[in-house]
């Protein structure tokens, strides 16, 4: 009986470690099928873009810089925040994929923490609209 209890405990600990180590919510390179299926419910308008810009300046500029070129003054050492003004989107280029990166972060290691605890879904869609407005054509 003692062996069974020890085996069950070891299995539980192993399962917990696997769950903690896996970046379940962070979006990895290449984008996601879930994001590709999402549609932006917030119309891109001057109001949405202005709101998105304000949210970007409040929450994102420290790492991505005020101009969104990825050279922010407070980016963690050893990281390389993305240039959000170019036409290269490594973690997916659809509005939904960009939404998921902002919401859940970027993996597999600490590249970017998700903003879902700081911004509502509408806020995140406004940031997506802002990023689209400054993106290279």
Q: 66-89, pLDDT tens digit by residue?
A: 999 998 988 888 888 889 998 878
pLDDT at residue 96 greater than cutoff 70:
yes
Exposed, middle or buried by CB within 10 Å (0-12, 13-18, 19+), for 81?
A: buried
Residue range(s) defining the domain that contains residue 77 = 25-134
**Nearest CA among 79, 76, 80, 103 for reference residue 92:** 103
Strands 105-106 and 112-113: antiparallel
pLDDT at 8: 44
Assigned domain for 12 exists: no
Domain presence at residue 9: no
Strand partners, 27: 106
Q: Against a cut of 0.85, is the pTM above it?
A: no
Instruction: Give the pLDDT band of residue 55 (cuts 50, 70, 90).
Output: very high
pLDDT of res. 100: 94
Q: What's the mean pLDDT when you consider all of the chain?
A: 81
When divided into structural domains, the chain yields a total of: 1
- Whether 15 maps to a domain, the answer reads no
Residue 3 in any domain: the answer is: no
């Amino acid at each position: 009986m003692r062996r069974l209890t020890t085996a069950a405990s070891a299995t539980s600990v192993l399962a917990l470690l696997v769950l903690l180590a896996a970046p379940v919510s962070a979006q990895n390179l290449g984008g996601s099928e879930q994001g590709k299926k999402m549609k932006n419910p917030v119309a891109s308008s001057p109001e949405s873009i202005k709101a998105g810009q304000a949210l970007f300046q409040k929450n994102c500029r420290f790492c991505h810089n005020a101009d969104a070129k990825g050279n922010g003054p407070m980016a963690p050492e050893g990281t390389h925040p993305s240039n959000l003004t170019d036409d290269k989107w490594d973690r997916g280029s659809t509005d939904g994929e960009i939404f998921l990166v902002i919401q859940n972060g970027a993996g597999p290691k600490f590249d970017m923490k998700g903003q879902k605890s700081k911004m509502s879904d509408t806020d995140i869609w406004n940031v997506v609209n802002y990023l689209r407005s400054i993106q290279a054509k």
